[in-house]
Structure 1
Amino acid sequence: MTNILFAAGAQRWTTYEPLLRAELPDATIACDLPPEEVDYIVYAPGSEVQDFTPFTRLKAVLNLWAGVENVTGNDTLKVPLARMVDTEGLTQGMVEYVTGHVLRHHLGMDRFINQPLEGWGQEAPPLSADRPVTILGLGTLGSACAAAIAALGFPVTGWSRTPRDVPGITCLHGADGLDTALRSAEILVLLLPHTPATRNLMDAAAIAKLPKGAAIVNPGRGQLIDDDALLAALDSGQLSHATLDVFRTEPLPEDHPFRSHPKVTPTPHIAAFTRAETAARVIAGNVRRGEAGEPFEHLVDRDAGY
C-alpha cells in the first residue's frame, strides 16, 4: 500500500482530498500518518513538516508550488524534491497573465481606463513588431510566455543563466547577454527563480540599462527587484510603469508604497495560481512513476535552487 501524507495546509485538504483519492484510489492519503510509514509527501510553503528525518521510507517530496526556495535549503531533506510544473493550469495561467499585461503596456491602455478622454489626440501605439520584449528566465514558464508573445508579432529576447534554445526567440545567457537583453527591453518580464544569484538582479544599475520609459512586469519573485531602486526609477521617469504580482513580504503590507504609487499596479500573487484539479493530476502522475520505478518528473536541482 502506498501512503501519501498531505502536508500542504489543512485549508487545502478539503479541496485536494477528493481529487487525489480519485486519481490514486489504491493509495492511503491523509493529513496524519506515522512518519515511518510515509512514502510521499505533498508539500507547500509553510508546511508543518520541517524536519524530514523521521520519514525513513520517504521516496519523494512533491511540491504544490512552482517556487521551492522555502524548502531547497532544508538539510534534513535527502530524497528527490519535485516542483509543480502544470502546463494545463499553472503554465497557462502565467501565459495569460503575462500576455495580458504586455499587451496592456504596449497599447497604453491605462491612459483610457478610468480616466476622462481629453481632446481627440489620435496617437496610435507602434505595432508589435516595433516593440521589443525581453523575458528574463527561460524555464517552463518563461519559454511558454516567450512563445505566446512572439506569436503576437513582438520581437522577443529571452535571457537565462545557462544556454537555452527556444524556437523563434533570441536566446542570450551570461553577464554579457543580460546587458544586451536589458538594453533592448521596452517591456521587461521577470520569470526567474529566487536564488542567491538572482536576488536584487534588477538593481539601480540594471534598471538604468533599460530604454527610458520601459515597463516592468514581475510575476516571478519579489526578491528579484530592489524595491527602492524601482520606486526611484518610476519617480524619475526611467520606468513608465511596473506591474507586480509578487513581493518581498506577502500579503503586501497596507502601508507599502507599491499600494499607492500611481505607476505601480499590484496584483495579489495570482499570475501562476496552482489549480487543484490539474495539480492533482501532476502529483498523481509522479506517484505512479515512483511506484513503477521510473524517474520522477520536474525534479529540483538542489544546488541551483530550482
Structure 2
Amino acid sequence: MTVLYKANMVRGAEWATLFAERAPDLPFRLWPDIGDPAEVRYLVAWVPPDDIAATFPNLELVFSVGAGVDQFDITKLPPHVPLVRMLEPGITERMVEYACMSVLALHRDLVQFIAQQREQVWRELPVTQTGKRRVGVMGLGLLGQAVLGRLKSFGFPLAGWNRSPRSIEGVTCYAGADALPDFLGHTDILVCLLPLTPETRGLLNANLFARLPRGARLLNVGRGGHLIEADLIAALDSGVLSAAVLDVAEPEPLPAGHPFWGHPRILLTPHIASTTAPETAVDFVLDTIARRHRGEALPGRVDRTRGY
C-alpha cells in the first residue's frame, strides 16, 4: 500500500521525511517515481495526473493538498474513491492571518498609499472608524467562520453570505440568491471565500460590484475563476470600487503584461494566503487513512453533487 505525493516538490521532500518518521511501514513516493501503480492506494495531489482510474486501479483515497478541490475533474475519479479536502489546522490559521491583514490594509487605504509612494506623493487620506466600515464575507464554511471570528476583535460590523443558512454569533447572516443584493448593499469591504463551482464562477462581476456601496473594496482569496477581470478593472477605473487585494488569478501565474501587475488600485500576491504545513498535513492524512480502515466517516470528504 503506497502513498503517492504529487504537488510542490520542496514540500514533498518534507512529507517524505515526516512519513519516514511517523509511518515507516507505509511506503511513500514522490511523483513521478510512482513505482508499481497497482500498489498506489492513496494519492495526495494538487493537480492530479491524467487518467487516474486506469493508472491506479487499486486507488482507495484521493487527498487535495489544499482546502479547495476545483482543480480536480471529479468526473474522472472512480465513483467509489472518496476525494478529501485538506483540513489541517494550519490552513485555517494562515488564511485568518492573511484575510485580517488584507481587510485592515483595505480599511486603512494601504493600496492607495502604495500607489502614492510610487508617484512620490505625500498626501493624507481621511480615516474611517472600524465601527463604520462594514465587512461582508461570502462563504461561511470553516475558513469563512474563522475569518469572521478573528475580525470581531477589530470592531467592524460583520455580515456573511452563504448558499445555505448559517447562524454565527455577532454576524448578520444572509442565505441564498434572493438575499445577496441586501448583503451586498450593506458591505463596504467584500471578502470572497467561496468554493469555485459552476454556480460561483464569474460571480464577482459588474452586476455584483454595482450592488455594493460606491467605493467599496474587494478581497478575493477564493479562486481566480470567481472574478471577471475586465469588470474589476472597469469598476476600479470608474470609482465603483476603490481598491482590491487579490491572492488568486486565472491563470496562475499571470502572464507578463497583464493589467493587474501595474494597476494602482490592486495589491496582488501569488496565491500564498494559505498554504499547507507538512507537519500537520501528514498527521491529517495518516488519521484519515486510519479512519478509512476502521470504516469511519472521513473528515473533509467532498460531496460530489456540490463539488466541495
Match of 1:151 in 2: 153
Equivalent position amino acid for 1:94 in 2: M
1:263 CA displacement: 0.6
Match of 2:87 in 1: 85
Could you tell me whether the CA contact under 8 Å between 1:53 and 1:76 is conserved in 2? no
What SS class does the counterpart of residue 19 from structure 1 fall into? helix
Mark the CA change 1:10 to 1:284 in structure 2 (over 3 Å): closer, same or farther. same
Match of 1:26 in 2: 25
1:288 CA displacement: 2.0
Per the normalisation by structure 2, the TM-score is: 0.91
Could you tell me whether the CA contact under 8 Å between 1:5 and 1:33 is conserved in 2? no
Mark the CA change 1:10 to 1:127 in structure 2 (over 3 Å): closer, same or farther. closer
2:238 is the counterpart of 1:245: no
Counterparts of 1:1-306 in structure 2 under 5 Å? 2-8=1-7, 10-31=9-30, 32-45=34-47, 47-78=48-79, 79-87=81-89, 89-113=90-114, 115=117, 118=122, 124-306=126-308
1:166 CA displacement: 2.3
1:54 CA displacement: 4.5
- Structure 1: runs of 5 or more not aligned: none
Whole-angstrom distance in 2 between the partners of 1:221 and 1:85: 18
Could you tell me whether the CA contact under 8 Å between 1:85 and 1:282 is conserved in 2? yes
1:212 CA displacement: 0.6
Whole-angstrom distance in 1 between the partners of 2:52 and 2:102: 40
Q: Which structure has greater helix proportion?
A: 2
**What are the Cα deviations for residues 156-207 of structure 1, in whole angstroms up to 9, with x where unaligned?**
1111111122222111111122111111111000011111100111211111
What SS class does the counterpart of residue 283 from structure 1 fall into? helix
1:293 CA displacement: 2.5
Whole-angstrom distance in 1 between the partners of 2:8 and 2:51: 13
1:26 CA displacement: 2.5
Mark the CA change 1:33 to 1:290 in structure 2 (over 3 Å): closer, same or farther. farther
1:267 CA displacement: 0.6
**What are the Cα deviations for residues 108-159 of structure 1, in whole angstroms up to 9, with x where unaligned?**
234555635747x6x6523212111000111111111111112321111111
Whole-angstrom distance in 2 between the partners of 1:111 and 1:197: 33
- Structure 2: runs of 5 or more not aligned: none
1:254 CA displacement: 1.3
Mark the CA change 1:9 to 1:118 in structure 2 (over 3 Å): closer, same or farther. closer
Aligned length: 301
Which has the larger displacement, 104-113 or 197-206? 104-113
What SS class does the counterpart of residue 253 from structure 1 fall into? coil
Whole-angstrom distance in 1 between the partners of 2:289 and 2:208: 42
Mark the CA change 1:183 to 1:249 in structure 2 (over 3 Å): closer, same or farther. same
Per the normalisation by structure 1, the TM-score is: 0.91
Whole-angstrom distance in 1 between the partners of 2:306 and 2:300: 14
